[in-house]
Amino acid sequence: MSHGPVRAPDATSVRRPQAVGASRRTGWVMVLTGVVGWLASFQLTVEDWLLLRDPDRQPPCDISPVVSCGSVMSSPQGSLFGFPNMLLGLGAFAAVTALGVAVLSGARLHRRLWLTLDAGALAGAVFAHWLIGQSLYELNKLCPYCAVVWTVTIALFWYVTLHCMEQGVVPVPRGVLEVVRDTHWMLLGAWYGIIVLLVLTRFLPYWSSLL
């Protein structure tokens, strides 16, 4: 019996899987950044509430004229959208933690959910860098809890994006993916290093006075 030629599947008939798994590294990053970010946001929320009750109160994070959170929370930058910024962190980091637990439990999240998570992490990272600039060059203060939030937000964005690139959710050239995959920790370290350098140089007279 003769058979007709077997047709190769065309591009329209090949669909990428809608549910995408993740490595345990990605799951742990989501859980750890979510928990730490939520705790820092919660502490800021408590301090902000206590300041509303007693404007003369000095928060324990007001360590020095430079390292301080009270003046940062009461500034316009601290309530950019009309409510305290830390409330955004409470909701966002809780969601990230829940998704991280699901990933560690073996759940395969929909591609659109990964894209939404990556887009949200990108927005958080952009917002964090705006706040860094405002803190260093407008408010002239360094809020300890805020710095914790910035740190975990950058890590979350970096590793969620790396996961999305590895799984093809965010398409990138193969060469770029290989470089990022092989040097992801060095690139993240350099990112943090630049921010630390900005902090050191901005408040150099203060740091020098401590020596």
> Tens digits of per-residue pLDDT, 83-141?
999 999 999 999 999 999 999 999 999 999 999 999 999 999 999 999 999 999 999 99
* pLDDT tops 80 at residue 161: yes
Let me know: does 19 contact 108? Beta carbons within 8 Å: yes
Q: 21-203 adopts what CATH topology?
A: de novo design (two linked rop proteins) (1.20.1440)
Q: Spell out where the chain has E strands.
A: 19-20, 109-110
Average pLDDT over residues 35-51: 96
Percent of the chain predicted with pLDDT > 70: 90
User: What does the domain layout of the chain look like in residue ranges?
Assistant: 21-203
**Band of the pLDDT at 163, cuts 50, 70, 90?**
very high
pTM value > 0.85: yes
Closest to 163 (Cα-Cα) out of 113, 125, 124: 113
Helix, strand, or coil (residue 110): strand
